[in-house]
Structure 1
Amino acid sequence: MGKRILILGGDSALGRHISRAIAAMPLAECVIGSRRPLKRNGFIGENITALTVNIHDPSSLRQAFGGVFAVVNAMGPFQLHDYTVAETCAGMGIHYVDLAETRAHVDGITRLNRRAQQKNCLIVSGASAVPAVSTALVDLLAPEFDRISDIHACISLGNKTPLGVATLRTILGYAGSSFRFKENGRWRYAYGWSDSEKVVFPRPVGKRRAYLCDAPNLDIFPTRYGAQTVTFRAGLELKLFNRGLFVLARMRRLGWIKNLSGWAPGLSAASRMFRGFGSATGGMRIVVRGRKNEEETEHTVFLISRDTNGLVISSSPALALVRKWVERGVPDAGAVPCIGQLSWDEIRAEMVNHDIVLVRS
Structure 2
Amino acid sequence: MLGGYGGFGGRLSRRLAEAGHEVVVAGRRLSEATRFCSGLPGCRPLVADRNGELTALFATERPALVIDAAGPFQDSGYRVPKACAALNIPYLDLADDRAFVSGIGTLRADVPMISGASSVPALSAAVARHLAAGMSRVTAVEAAISASNQAAAGRSVATAILSSVGQPVPLRRGGRASTGYGWQDMRREHFDFADGTSLGRRWVAIADVPDLSLLPKRMVGRPAVTFRAGTELGFQNLALWLVSWPVRWFGVSLRPLARWLLPLQRLTAALGSDRSGMVVRVFGVATGRRVERRWTLIAEKGDGPEIPTLAAAILAERILAGACSPGPRDAGEALSIADFQPDFMRLAIRHETREIGQPDPLYRQVMGSEFDRLCPAVRGLHDVLRDGGASGHATVTRGGHPVARLIAAAVGFPPAGEHALHVSFSEQDGEETWTRDFAGRRFRSRMSQRGQELVERFGPLRFRFVLIREGRGLRMVMRGWSCFGVPLPLALAPRSDARETEDAQGRFSFDVPITLPLVGLIVHYQGWLTPPNGS
Same fold, TM-score > 0.5, yes or no: yes
Whole-Å Cα distance in 2 between the matches of residues 180 and 40 of structure 1? 42
Give how far 1:347 is off.
2.6
Tell me the alpha carbon deviations over residues 130-188 of structure 1, each in whole angstroms, 9 at most, x when there is no partner.
11110111122122422222110111111111122110111111110112111131111
Q: Which runs of 5+ in 2 are unaligned?
A: 355-535
Aligned twin of 2:159: 169
Tell me the alpha carbon deviations over residues 11-49 of structure 1, each in whole angstroms, 9 at most, x when there is no partner.
1121111011111224x3211111111335664541111
Aligned twin of 1:82: 77
Aligned twin of 1:287: 281
Whole-Å Cα distance in 2 between the matches of residues 274 and 21 of structure 1? 28
The code of the aligned residue for 1:201 comes to F
Give how far 1:204 is off.
4.0
SS in 2 for 1:201: strand
The code of the aligned residue for 1:80 comes to D
Aligned twin of 1:192: 182
Q: Does 1:97 align with 2:92?
A: yes
**Cα distance change of structure 1 residues 323 and 259 upon mapping to structure 2, 3 Å threshold:** same
Aligned twin of 2:48: 53
Aligned twin of 1:4: none
Aligned twin of 2:68: 73
Aligned twin of 1:128: 118
Aligned twin of 2:137: 147
Aligned twin of 1:35: 28
Aligned twin of 1:212: 206
SS in 1 for 2:10: helix
The code of the aligned residue for 1:339 comes to G
Whole-Å Cα distance in 2 between the matches of residues 292 and 35 of structure 1? 51
1:352 to 345, 354, 364: 345
For 1:221-236, what aligned pairs fall within 5 Å after superposition?
Answer: 221-226=215-220, 227-236=222-231
Contact conserved, 2:280 with 2:295, CA < 8 A, in 1? yes
Contact conserved, 2:34 with 2:44, CA < 8 A, in 1? no
SS in 2 for 1:146: strand
Q: Does 1:341 align with 2:334?
A: yes
Contact conserved, 2:67 with 2:93, CA < 8 A, in 1? yes
Give how far 1:269 is off.
0.7
The code of the aligned residue for 2:23 comes to C
RMSD: 1.6
Whole-Å Cα distance in 2 between the matches of residues 41 and 319 of structure 1? 19
The code of the aligned residue for 2:12 comes to I
Contact conserved, 2:149 with 2:273, CA < 8 A, in 1? yes
Tell me the alpha carbon deviations over residues 316-352 of structure 1, each in whole angstroms, 9 at most, x when there is no partner.
110110112223x144111111122122222333333
Whole-Å Cα distance in 1 between the matches of residues 141 and 37 of structure 2? 44
Q: Which runs of 5+ in 1 are unaligned?
A: 1-6
Whole-Å Cα distance in 1 between the matches of residues 270 and 151 of structure 2? 11
For 1:237-276, what aligned pairs fall within 5 Å after superposition?
Answer: 237-255=232-250, 258-276=252-270
Give how far 1:311 is off.
1.8
Contact conserved, 1:186 with 1:228, CA < 8 A, in 2? no
**Cα distance change of structure 1 residues 56 and 44 upon mapping to structure 2, 3 Å threshold:** farther
Whole-Å Cα distance in 1 between the matches of residues 139 and 70 of structure 2? 36
Contact conserved, 1:53 with 1:64, CA < 8 A, in 2? no
**Cα distance change of structure 1 residues 10 and 259 upon mapping to structure 2, 3 Å threshold:** same
Contact conserved, 1:69 with 1:94, CA < 8 A, in 2? yes
Whole-Å Cα distance in 1 between the matches of residues 185 and 143 of structure 2? 14
SS in 1 for 2:189: strand
> Larger helix proportion, structure 1 or 2?
1
Q: Give TM-score, length-normalised by structure 2.
A: 0.63
Whole-Å Cα distance in 2 between the matches of residues 144 and 283 of structure 1? 26
Whole-Å Cα distance in 1 between the matches of residues 72 and 38 of structure 2? 24
The code of the aligned residue for 1:353 comes to R
Q: Does 1:181 align with 2:171?
A: yes
